[in-house]
Structures are given as C-alpha cells and as structure tokens.
Amino acid sequence: MQANDRRMLAQFGGSPVRTTPLVTFNDAAGRTLGEEEIAAVTEVIHSGILSSTFGTRGRQLERAFAERMGVAHAVSCSSGTAALHLAVAAVDPEPGDEIITTPISDFGSVIPILMQNAVPVFADVDPRTAQLDPAAVRAAITGRTRAIVAVHLLGAPAPVRELREIADEHGLVLIEDCAQAFLTEPSPGRLAGSYGDIGCFSLQQSKQITAGDGGLVVTSDEVLARRMRLFSDKGWPRDTGERTYLFLGANYRMSELQAAVALAQLGKLDGVIGRRRHQAARFAEAIADLDGVTTAPSGQQHSYWQNPLLLDPAVVGTTLDWGTALRAEGIPCSAPYIPRPLYLVPVLAEGRTYGRSRFPLTSPPARIDHTFVEGMCPAAERLLYQTLLVLAWNENYSDQDVDDIAAAVRKVHTVFAAERAGVPA
C-alpha cells in the first residue's frame, strides 16, 4: 500500500494511530481537581454556610481574581453566561438597541443580549484568525449601537486594542468574553479581560479551571461593578441595609461551594496554562513542515482552551473531511467547531424569542426588522465549513499523547495532500 493510498486511513480500514482514548475535561485524569478542592469544600460544609450572601469564600474569590487580573473589581456569579448577562445589563440598553458580536462562539455570548431586549448584530471575522474583524465591526456601527462583545475564541486573543479604539471613538462599551481565555495576553504582560470596560470569565466544566459552573466579571469602573453586583442579586442593595429592589435584576449568585472550589483552582491556573502552552509548542514543532496546515501562534498570547488548525482546502482538503478522518484515528476534534454561525440558529433565524412576537428583533422597538440569513458573514462560514479544524486540548496530555496527535495529523495530511496534488495511489 502506497503512502498516499486512502486505505491507510482508519476511516477506510487502516489501523488507527490511537486506540487508547485521550483524557478529556470529563475525566478525573483530565482535570486538576484534588485534595485542595476537597479540603476547601469540607471547610465550607463544616461552617454551615453554603450561601455566598452570608459566607466569606465568594468575596475571597473576587478579591483574589481581581488581584490576579490587575483590575479593581471582580464580581462572582453562577455561570459564564450569567457573567455576560451582568455585563450587558450594566450597559442598560434600551429595547431594540444593538450590540455587535461575533458569529463564531457559544450561544452564551448572544443570550444576554436578547435577554436584555437588545439586538445582536454580527460582524464578520478575520479569515486567518477567526477573531472579530475590526473593519467589519466599524462598518456595523449604527446610531443604535451600544456595545461590542469581543470573544477571545479558543484561547487566542481577539484584536482588543483595535476594538478599544473603535469603542472609544464611538462612545461604546467594550465587553470581553474571556470564557476560553484565562491568562491570554493580547499584548505582553497584559491579560485578556483588562482591555474592555468589562471582562467575563467562565468556570464551566470544560474550561481551563472549573467549579463545575460559575462565572466572574472584572472591571476597574466602580459604577459598572456596583451595577453588576446589584443585577446578580435581584437589584437588592444589601450594603445599605434596606430591603428594596432598585431595578430589574436576576438571581445569579455563586454559592460558597463553587467559590471554594474556584479559589483552589485559581491557585493552579498558571500551571494549567503553562502545561497547555508547552504541549502546544511541542505539537506545532512536530507538524511545522506540513504544507497547507497552519498552527496557532505559540507563546503567552494563546491559552489553548482548544488547539486550532487552519487548513488550505486547495492543498489539503476541508475541515469536514479532516474531522472525520482524525476522529477515526482516535483524535477528538471539532469540525466544524460549531454546526453553523450563530445567526443561523433557530432562535434568530426563526425569531424564537418571546412567543411569536420576534421581539426585540422587529421595528419597533428596533430601528429595522432584523433578519438573519446565510451569507451574512462569508468569512465565518468558510472557516466553519472549510478551513477551521479544532483539536481538543488538555493540560494533562503526556508527550506521547501529543506525539500521537501529531502522527495522526501527519497521516491524514499525507493522504489528502497527495489527492489534492493529483498523485495517483
């Protein structure tokens, strides 16, 4: 069998590179949970206070995270989506106002916009990075725009310096979705989450550190910090001693149990990200000579929540073909990363918001009747369907694990590149 024969691939009957499953975030072996977390939770249970309203762990976590981020304030909450909801609520948009964001993310980046009766406006992405394209963001601004939500996708930095300039120029609030980007540095020595007016983080099961669920928002603006703290607790100003409700809010409080686990995890964060970066550099070096395959930039910029590859379809085929082939080789990956751009999910494409009203997507309260259709963001669609391949990544991968991933990538590349070059099997 020749090296470029499809039959060498496990998908077509060949022997897979990997027969032992790689560790994942749903395995104890793929997490850093241990005695520190057990001791912290035990202390909370013995205290009898499991609510952060009356306990101390939630406030300890906020102080520790704000210090680690180099900002003045952190507010804890129940999830990463809740963190984004706190941020959008702090913007306080009028019904029908617009908030610009990316079409490539989890829908948690969009839910808070709709829940605050604002309209998500999708700007296209840079085809080389899958991050928001500042030029597309600038073109999407209207008289109703109130904020920009920039997502640091997969742990790589969004262009927050350019977006900061755009936001300041137009009087907009810049929100950073850092759910996948703990310790990402868009520029040396400055962390993702500190460029925007507000930075949002997730402690969900799959994130670099976890409390099962949970979220944190950071800001150096005291007014925004207070409004977010109030919103997370039904608008109740507990610091004044008065039982009243200053505005419509939610109950997004983090429990003391979550905070205890998160505090223990925070102490391990540097090691987690360091190991992810080290193994990503090993992988990038192992496939550096492959034509038509581009790895993510290594170093402090990326925190490798997952490990993306950019494929040149003319040279090596599409992400969908690669995803099928790599999974058959025993390598977990996402191809496409999400099934469709966010504007094509039923919530938006079919207007499934509040009953059959399509509110707030209609005029009024919006400036126009907003519709969401295929072709709105062509660069994002090409990335999802043709060029972006996302490898699962974990801080507990061994050198052998990484070498196996690289070997599978090289194997798939050998066959698909030969086919694109017209080399007969």
Same domain for 262 and 140: yes
Same domain for 303 and 171: no
Catalytically annotated residue among 207, 234, 268, 411: 207
Q: What average pLDDT does range 62-69 have in this prediction?
A: 98
Same domain for 282 and 153: no
The alpha carbon of residue 327 and the mean position of all alpha carbons in its chain are separated, in whole angstroms, by 22
Q: Per-residue pLDDT for 425 more than 70? A: no
Residue 414 confidence (pLDDT): 96
At 318, is the pLDDT very low, low, confident or very high (cuts 50, 70, 90)? very high
For residue 349, tell me if it sits in a domain: no
Q: Per-residue pLDDT for 308 more than 70? A: yes
At 422, is the pLDDT very low, low, confident or very high (cuts 50, 70, 90)? confident
Looking at 268, 292, 316, the residue that finishes a domain is: 268
Three-state secondary-structure class, residue 380: helix
Token representation of residue 166: 């755009």
Distances (CA, A) of 326 to 27, 140, 268: 21, 37, 31
Q: Where are the alpha helices (DSSP H) in 306-353?
A: 313-316, 319-328, 346-349
Looking at 234, 268, 302, the residue that finishes a domain is: 268
User: Number of structural domains, the chain?
Assistant: 2
Same domain for 216 and 308: no
Q: What average pLDDT does range 128-134 have in this prediction?
A: 97
Q: Per-residue pLDDT for 424 more than 70? A: no
Same domain for 232 and 126: yes
Q: What average pLDDT does range 242-268 have in this prediction?
A: 98
Quick one: what percent of the chain has pLDDT higher than 70? 99
Q: Per-residue pLDDT for 3 more than 70? A: no
For residue 350, tell me if it sits in a domain: no
Q: Where are the alpha helices (DSSP H) in 293-424?
A: 313-316, 319-328, 346-349, 378-382, 399-421
Residue 5 confidence (pLDDT): 83
Same domain for 141 and 210: yes
| Mean of the per-residue pLDDT values of the chain | 96
Token representation of residue 133: 């394209």
Decide: 345 and 32 in contact? Cβ < 8 Å. Answer: no
Q: What average pLDDT does range 42-61 have in this prediction?
A: 97
Active site residue 234: no
Q: Per-residue pLDDT for 1 more than 70? A: no
For residue 417, tell me if it sits in a domain: yes
Same domain for 180 and 70: yes
pLDDT tens digit string along 394-415?
999 999 999 999 999 999 999 9
Decide: 186 and 174 in contact? Cβ < 8 Å. Answer: no
Q: What average pLDDT does range 113-135 have in this prediction?
A: 98
23: domain CATH number? 3.90.1150.10
Same domain for 308 and 283: yes
- Cut 0.85: pTM above it: yes
- Look at strands 293-295 and 98-101 and give their pairing: unpaired
Residue 4 confidence (pLDDT): 66
Same domain for 14 and 100: no
Quick one: what percent of the chain has pLDDT higher than 90? 96
C-alpha–C-alpha distance, residues 99 and 121, integer Å: 6
Three-state secondary-structure class, residue 151: strand
Same domain for 315 and 206: no
Residue 2 confidence (pLDDT): 61
Distances (CA, A) of 21 to 185, 325, 332: 31, 16, 9
Residue 249 confidence (pLDDT): 97
Q: Which domain holds residue 290?
A: 6-31+269-338+381-421
Same domain for 218 and 158: yes
For residue 184, tell me if it sits in a domain: yes
pLDDT tens digit string along 327-385?
999 999 999 999 999 999 999 999 999 999 999 999 999 999 999 999 999 999 999 99
Token representation of residue 144: 């109703």
Q: Per-residue pLDDT for 101 more than 70? A: yes
Residue 361 confidence (pLDDT): 98
Looking at 229, 250, 268, the residue that finishes a domain is: 268
186: domain CATH number? 3.40.640.10
Three-state secondary-structure class, residue 146: strand
Same domain for 70 and 196: yes
